[in-house]
Amino acid sequence: MSDDNRADELANQARKYWSAEGYTAGGMIREVDYASQSAGLDPSLKGIKIVDCDTHVTEAPDLFIKQAPAALKGRMPHVKRVKGVDRWFVGERDFGTLGGNVIRADNNKLLGRLAFQTIDEGHAGAHDTKARLQAMDDMGVYAQICFQNSGVTQPGSLMALGDPELALAIIKAYNDAAAERQQESGQRLFTLAHLPIWDKKAMDAEARRCADIGLKGFVVPDTPERMGLPSLIEDHWTSFLELCEHEALPINFHLNVAIDPTALTWKGFAFEQTLSVVATMFSICNAATLGNWIVSGRLDRHPKLKIGLIESGMGWIPFALEALEHQFDEMMGAKRNIAKRRPWEYFKDHFWVTYWFEKVAPKLLLETIGVDKVLFETDFPHPTSLYPGVQAHIVDTLGGYSHEVKKRVLERNAAELYKLPF
């Protein structure tokens, strides 16, 4: 692929980050009896500070301009409304939509689409800290681990700008806003950092800076080689991973976006049919991320590295690990000595997983997977989010366990993994 074609492909990633069809008129509104869903923490969970380990913050329209150095303010990402849809632009380059928010301003929920077309139609808690904290109080959640909602900080798209100074400024502005939001929220909203992964020196420096300003972990891509960057087994990443070990900060893989699940769906499906399969496969495909790390030998070089597999569920973990155990014996052959431990051992030493909609796995597989390996999430305010009914679902799925186990899954695992101040 030529450099020009690669740049075009990288730039297209932001535009495809959320399918344009997901922003067309239509879908269905689910009426929510918000009064019955906003009573806060269930009495049976008293004394537990629930940490929601996968949520999304919509980058406010002025976020990048507000945080930028004066000389770069006119070049930073900004929002334009195009054919009724709010979209990010850097100069004239389309960086895609604002991301998913299916919770309407009146607390009802949109089904069958990815988001409302404009930021004003969606719940203000997607981008406003005060409104977000109120929504958290209503649903009985104390703290949230937050991920990006747009493609603005997507490495491939930033690389395609051909302007390293601007790309780095965008990353830094995002991370500065994360630190500001953390403080503004009273240490309840913890947005994970992004990095200029295309430049090893800049990546290491920004990772160090993010650790110093108190951010709680990093988001990295599954397969950076798809962007023309070194694989995670290469030394490009070694000093960064060593910093993560030293500072006890986790790296996080949010879904597995290296795989295109739309290629797995049947031709002729309507958008809603495709979306149902795609949403499922994005989660399950994190089994590839788990497997890649386990067979790589990297984890023997970084014995204290912590890895979050986020928005991926938990029920597939026993099957994936049993399969890897079998393939270790059947397939690794002469390469078996690359990995010094067994798959289950690597999982128990290095990985954490999240659950939200599942019922079978938290009820029946929690102890198999590990009480200390499971985190809770809602995915607010995205499609598939556990909204409404957060407290009822927690009580249903964890009601059969002791208060100690509930606190471990809902609070302490996250507090320890992300070094939260409570």
Nearest-5° Cα angle at 340, 221 to 208: 40
| Separation CA 95–CA 43 (nearest Å) | 44
Instruction: List phi, psi (to 5°) of 189.
Output: -115, 115
- Residue 350 and residue 307 in contact, taking contact as beta carbons nearer than 8 Å: yes
Q: How confident is the model at residue 10 (pLDDT cuts 50, 70, 90)?
A: low
Predicted structure pTM score: 0.95
Q: Which fold has domain 41-76+125-417?
A: TIM Barrel (3.20.20)
Is the pLDDT assigned to residue 111 strictly greater than 90? yes
| Separation CA 81–CA 280 (nearest Å) | 31
Q: Is the peptide bond before 381 cis (omega within 30 degrees of 0)?
A: yes
Identify the pLDDT of residue 220.
Answer: 96
Q: What is the pLDDT of residues 331-384, one digit of tens each?
A: 999 999 999 999 999 999 999 999 999 999 999 999 999 999 999 999 999 999
Structural domain boundaries of the chain? 41-76+125-417
Q: What is the pLDDT of residues 23-65, one digit of tens each?
A: 888 899 999 999 999 999 999 999 999 999 999 999 999 999 9
Identify the pLDDT of residue 342.
Answer: 97
Q: Calculate mean pLDDT across residues 69-93.
A: 95
Q: What is the pLDDT of residues 238-271, one digit of tens each?
A: 999 999 999 999 999 998 777 888 888 999 999 9
Q: What is the pLDDT of residues 127-139, one digit of tens each?
A: 999 999 999 999 9
Is the pLDDT assigned to residue 9 strictly greater than 80? no
Q: Above pLDDT 70, what percent of the chain? A: 96
The set of residues, in sequence order, having a beta carbon less than 8 Å from that of 241 and lying 6+ positions away, is 251, 298, 302, 305
Identify the pLDDT of residue 59.
Answer: 97
Identify the pLDDT of residue 250.
Answer: 98
